């Protein structure tokens, strides 16, 4: 009963929303959102029609069963035996067939829902992955996951069922109303007026309910943020010895949530009591009217039973029809949130990029000319900058933290693009292509930080080469100076590591990440502070192994380590947002300064 009253309030609130959107001219957005939803469901149109027909048949059989039960009661109470067996068969048969059709409808709905859910998720996944790096970066990971899972599930669960449900619900309401009208017009009016009367009365509670819902959700969101940040930074909290303080903070958030939730709960109970009393009043009016008709001989016991059961059914059908309004709006909101991701600007793809592939064994040069780039307008991160790295070279990028070294790496990868100037990949024959999404397969990249995923060591490496053999994985681990400790682990390359490489030292995690890049064996290797946790000897061995593996590999490293600079053919410095090449004397002096 409480759920029905809450859905009634929600339905009225949603109707108000639709009226307001119509007045403000934004109702068209809702329509557009549903057009987008139907673009996924239209290929299941025949299944949707079948679903609708089954629903209508199920409702019809349910009404036939109710009418048959009326005559059965009349026969039994009148001590008549005429057609009793036939009516019993009709009543039981109709009920069984109605149950069968309802079960089939649920099965079809579940199948269609999972199909369309997979269709939408797969399509959206591809489009998010292909979105512009800067554009998609405006959304938090949690928000993207929420849209990808919760919103897609909302859309998929309603994309198939919403239209058939509203057709079936309207048919149920109209058919039930006319069945009651056939036997008593007054009773039909009483039954019809009960639902809208309760709907109108619920308006009084909407504003207060909104306030409570908002406060409860705000506190719940704040508490969830606290929980996520706490678990993510557990190592830091433990290291500072402040676990008890965080336990106290958690209990404070729980207390705030408890107080607000219980206030909302009390308000809901009071609201439901009032709404239930109104419902009981209408029900009692209908019951007394039926008793009066029965007392005066205007109806039979069977007709009275039919009136009372179908009055409740009519009210339920009305609530179901109106209850589809918030479903309609919720799906529209979810669709709009999904569309925001789907319609993000896409990465740049240059079809001619495949022309470079024929020269892979000779290596490639990376050339930047007069590059200007800013994440925020009028705030340069890179300006007036040139850069070059050729096959067989190790080229270093040095400079203070935050000056733009990682931005340089992103420019080379084609994750971002300069506002002015060019970043190009040049093959041996002079073929030159701007760095873009379709040139990224020529790179192997080891970023800053821990990039180890949960799973086995072999699985971590195979993410860049799915068909890699165990022998290839072991060879890559040897080149990356990681096999010495991996071979001592209980299951070797099949040993499981936890998320973010828990259980491994920072140096071990870096060596596995480097080995993963080595297994990819791309002609261009980017190492962004990737050897910072290695000792000098291991670092030098790793870099020598990389150069030996493929002599024409172009290797670019961002670093603060003097040992790396000694191995580099050229050194570029990023200072004051400008990239400049250092002379041999300046490079040597920098090593001394280190």
Q: How many CA atoms lie within 13 A of 120 on its CB side?
A: 32
What Cα–Cα distance (Å) separates residue 589 from each residue in 251, 398, 400, 529, 594? 57, 13, 16, 21, 9
Distance CA 11, CA 590 (A): 70
In terms of Cβ atoms closer than 10 Å to its own Cβ (0-12, 13-18, 19+), residue 560 is middle
Distance CA 76, CA 302 (A): 9
Residue carrying the six token digits 């109710």: 66
Distance CA 237, CA 233 (A): 6
- For 43-88, the DSSP string reads GGHHHHHHHHHHHHHHHHHHHHHHHHHHHHHHHHHTT--TTHHHHH
Distance CA 51, CA 104 (A): 9
Q: Give residue 372's pLDDT.
A: 92
Q: Give residue 209's pLDDT.
A: 63
Q: How many CA atoms lie within 13 A of 477 on its CB side?
A: 26
Instruction: Compute the Cα dihedral for 235, 241, 243, 248 and give only its sign.
Output: negative
Residue carrying the six token digits 């479903």: 327
Q: Give residue 165's pLDDT.
A: 79
With contact defined as beta carbons under 8 Å apart, do 452 and 501 qualify? Answer: yes
Distance CA 112, CA 402 (A): 50
The total of other beta-carbon atoms located within 10 Å of residue 214's CB is: 10
Residue carrying the six token digits 């007392």: 295
- For 286-325, the DSSP string reads HHHHHHHHHHTTSS-HHHHHHHHHHHHHHHHHHHHHHHHH
For strand 524-528 and strand 443-446, is the pairing parallel, antiparallel, or unpaired? Answer: parallel
Q: Give residue 387's pLDDT.
A: 93
Q: Give residue 2's pLDDT.
A: 43
Helix/strand/coil (H/E/C) assignment for every residue in 239-263: HHCCHHHHHHHHHHHHHHHHHHHHH
Rounded to a whole number of angstroms, the CA Rg of the chain reads 35
- The residues, any chain, with a CB within 8 Å of residue 514's CB and separated by 6 or more, are 446, 480, 482, 527, 530, 531, 542
Distance CA 347, CA 329 (A): 32
Q: How far from the centroid of its chain's Cα atoms is residue 447's Cα?
A: 25
With contact defined as beta carbons under 8 Å apart, do 543 and 567 qualify? Answer: yes
Residue carrying the six token digits 């439901």: 272
Distance CA 156, CA 114 (A): 7
Q: How far from the centroid of its chain's Cα atoms is residue 487's Cα?
A: 39
Q: Give residue 424's pLDDT.
A: 95
**Segment-wise mean pLDDT, segments of 10 residues, the chain, 594 residues:** 46 46 51 78 78 82 80 68 68 75 75 78 85 83 76 78 80 85 79 62 57 70 74 71 84 88 81 72 77 80 80 73 67 82 88 91 91 86 91 87 84 91 92 92 84 86 90 90 89 84 81 89 86 76 77 84 77 87 68 48
Tell which residue, 285, 300, 277, has the closest CA to residue 193: 285
Residue carrying the six token digits 């990028």: 397
Q: Give residue 38's pLDDT.
A: 80
In terms of Cβ atoms closer than 10 Å to its own Cβ (0-12, 13-18, 19+), residue 480 is buried
Angle separating helix axes 185-201 and 301-342, nearest 10 degrees: 40
The total of other beta-carbon atoms located within 10 Å of residue 463's CB is: 14
Where b means 16+ CB within 10 Å and e means fewer, 332-369 reads: bebbebbbebbebeebeeeeebeebeebbeebbbbbbe
Q: What is the DSSP code (8-state) at residue 138?
A: T
Q: Which tokens hold the place of 301?
A: 């016991």
Q: How far from the centroid of its chain's Cα atoms is residue 428's Cα?
A: 44
Angle separating helix axes 84-129 and 27-41, nearest 10 degrees: 100
In 347-430 the beta strands, taken as DSSP E runs, fall at: 365-373, 382-389, 394-398, 420-426
Q: Which tokens hold the place of 313?
A: 């059914």
The total of other beta-carbon atoms located within 10 Å of residue 278's CB is: 16
Q: Give residue 78's pLDDT.
A: 66
- The residues, any chain, with a CB within 8 Å of residue 482's CB and separated by 6 or more, are 508, 511, 512, 514, 515
Distance CA 329, CA 15 (A): 9
């Amino acid at each position: 009963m409480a759920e029905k009253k809450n859905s009634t309030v929600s339905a009225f609130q949603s109707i108000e929303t639709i009226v307001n959107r119509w007045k403000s001219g934004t109702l068209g957005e809702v329509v557009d959102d549903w057009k987008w939803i139907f673009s996924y469901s239209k290929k299941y149109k025949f299944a949707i029609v079948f679903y609708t027909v089954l629903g209508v048949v199920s409702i019809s059989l349910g009404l036939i069963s109710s009418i048959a039960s009326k005559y059965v009661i009349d026969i039994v109470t009148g001590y008549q035996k005429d057609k009793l067996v036939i009516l019993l068969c009709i009543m039981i048969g109709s009920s069984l067939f109605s149950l069968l059709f309802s079960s089939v409808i649920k099965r079809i709905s579940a199948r269609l829902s999972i199909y369309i859910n997979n269709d939408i998720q797969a399509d959206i996944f591809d489009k998010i992955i292909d979105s512009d790096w800067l554009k998609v970066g405006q959304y938090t990971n949690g928000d993207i996951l929420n849209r990808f899972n919760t919103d897609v599930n909302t859309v998929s669960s309603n994309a198939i069922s919403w239209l058939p449900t509203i057709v079936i619900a309207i048919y149920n309401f109209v058919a039930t109303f006319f069945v009651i009208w056939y036997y008593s017009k007054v009773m039909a009016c009483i039954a019809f007026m009960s639902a809208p009367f309760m709907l109108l009365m619920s308006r009084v509670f909407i504003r207060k309910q909104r306030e409570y819902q908002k406060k409860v959700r705000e506190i719940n969101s704040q508490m969830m943020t606290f929980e996520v940040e706490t678990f993510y930074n557990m190592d830091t909290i433990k290291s500072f010895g402040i676990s008890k303080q965080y336990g106290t903070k958690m209990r404070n958030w729980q207390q705030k949530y408890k107080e607000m939730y219980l206030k909302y709960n009390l308000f809901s109970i009071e609201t439901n009591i009032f709404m239930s009393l109104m419902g009981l009043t209408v029900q009692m009016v209908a019951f007394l009217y039926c008793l009066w008709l029965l007392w005066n001989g205007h109806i039979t016991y069977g007709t009275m039973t039919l009136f009372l059961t179908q009055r409740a059914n009519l009210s339920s059908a009305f609530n179901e029809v109106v209850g589809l309004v918030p479903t309609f709006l919720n799906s529209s909101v979810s669709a709009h949130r999904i569309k925001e991701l789907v319609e993000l600007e896409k990465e740049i793809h240059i079809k001619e990029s495949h022309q470079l592939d024929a020269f892979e064994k000779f290596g490639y040069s990376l050339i930047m000319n007069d590059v200007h780039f800013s994440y925020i307008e009028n705030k340069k991160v890179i300006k007036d900058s040139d850069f070059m790295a050729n096959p067989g070279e190790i080229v270093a990028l040095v400079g203070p933290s935050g000056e733009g070294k990682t931005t340089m790496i992103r420019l080379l990868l084609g994750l971002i693009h300069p506002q002015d100037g060019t970043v190009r990949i040049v093959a041996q024959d002079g073929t030159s292509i701007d760095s873009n999404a379709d040139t990224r397969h020529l790179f192997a990249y080891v970023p800053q930080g821990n990039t180890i995923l949960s799973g086995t060591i072999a699985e971590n490496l195979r993410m860049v080469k799915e068909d890699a053999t165990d022998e290839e994985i072991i060879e890559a681990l040897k080149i990356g100076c990681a096999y010495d400790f991996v071979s001592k682990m209980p299951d070797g390359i099949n040993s499981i590591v936890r998320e973010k490489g828990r259980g491994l030292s920072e140096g071990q995690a870096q060596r596995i990440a480097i080995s993963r890049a080595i297994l990819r064996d791309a002609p261009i290797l980017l190492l962004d502070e990737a050897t910072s946790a290695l000792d000098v000897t291991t670092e030098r061995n790793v870099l020598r192994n990389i150069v030996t593996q493929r002599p024409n590999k172009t290797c670019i490293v961002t670093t603060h380590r003097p040992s790396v600079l000694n191995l580099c053919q050229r050194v570029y410095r990023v200072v004051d947002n400008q990239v400049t090449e250092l002379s041999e004397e300046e490079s040597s002096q920098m090593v001394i300064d280190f």
